[in-house]
Amino acid sequence: MIAVRLSDVAVDDEATRVTYGLLNLTHRDGHDEPKPLELPIRAARDSVDAIRDPGPPRGAPAGRTTLNRPRDYGWTVVRDLAADCSTLEVKKDEGEFRFDELQVAMQVRTTEWYSHTRNDYDSVRGEVECVRGMSRGDWSISVRTRTVLTSDCDDFHLRAEMDGYEGDQRVHSHNVDRSIPRDLM
C-alpha cells in the first residue's frame, strides 16, 4: 500500500491535510485481477548529487480571519472491559472562522471512531462523520457526511451518507451501501 498526503502548512507551522491518496499495489494493473506484489531491488547509489533541493515552501499570503468558535481536538480511548471492546475517538473540530475581507464564515468538523472487540477481526469498524459549512448574513450551506466501513473474511462493507443543506432544508441526499471483495487484502 502506498499512501500520499498533501498538507498545507501555515506560518505558525500548523499543518492541515488538504487531500490524500492510497494505492494498493496488488491492484496496480486493475481491480479485476489483483496480483501479489514482487518488489524490485534498486542498486545503491554512491552519491545523492542527482537529488534536487526543492527549496523552501512557497504559498500565497494568508488573508485575515476572525475565530468565531474555537478549535477542539481530542483523542479518546474507551476500553469496555465487560464487552472486551476498544474504541478510539478522534475529534478534529477546526471551529468556525470568518474570512474578514469576504465576510464569509466557515466551519470544518470531523469525528472518527475506530473499534474492535476481542481479537475478532470481523468486529473491526471505522466510522467518520464530517460537517463542512459556509455562511454569510442570512445565507448558509452545509454538507454532512457519515461513512461506516466494516469487513468480514471475504468482503469490505461500505455504508456512506451525504446530505447537502441550504439553511435547515435538506436539498440533496446520496447514500451508498455496497460490499467489495477483499481480493488479497
Per-residue pLDDT, 61? 84
Gyration radius (Cα) of the chain, Å: 22
Per-residue pLDDT, 70? 96
With H, G, I as helix, E, B as strand and everything else as coil, classify residue 67.
strand
**What is the number of structural domains in the chain?**
1
> At a CB cut-off of 8 Å and minimum separation 6, what does 71 contact?
93, 94, 95
pTM for this model (two decimals): 0.68
pLDDT along the chain (185 residues), means of 10: 85 83 84 81 69 82 91 96 95 96 96 93 93 97 98 93 98 97 81
Q: How far apart are CA 144 and CA 168, in angstroms?
A: 12
89, 111 Cβ separation under 8 angstroms: yes
**Quick one: cell of 161?**
451518507
Answer yes or no: is 48 within a domain.
Answer: no
Domain containing 111 equals 64-181
Answer yes or no: is 148 within a domain.
Answer: yes
Answer yes or no: is 14 within a domain.
Answer: no
Answer yes or no: is 165 within a domain.
Answer: yes
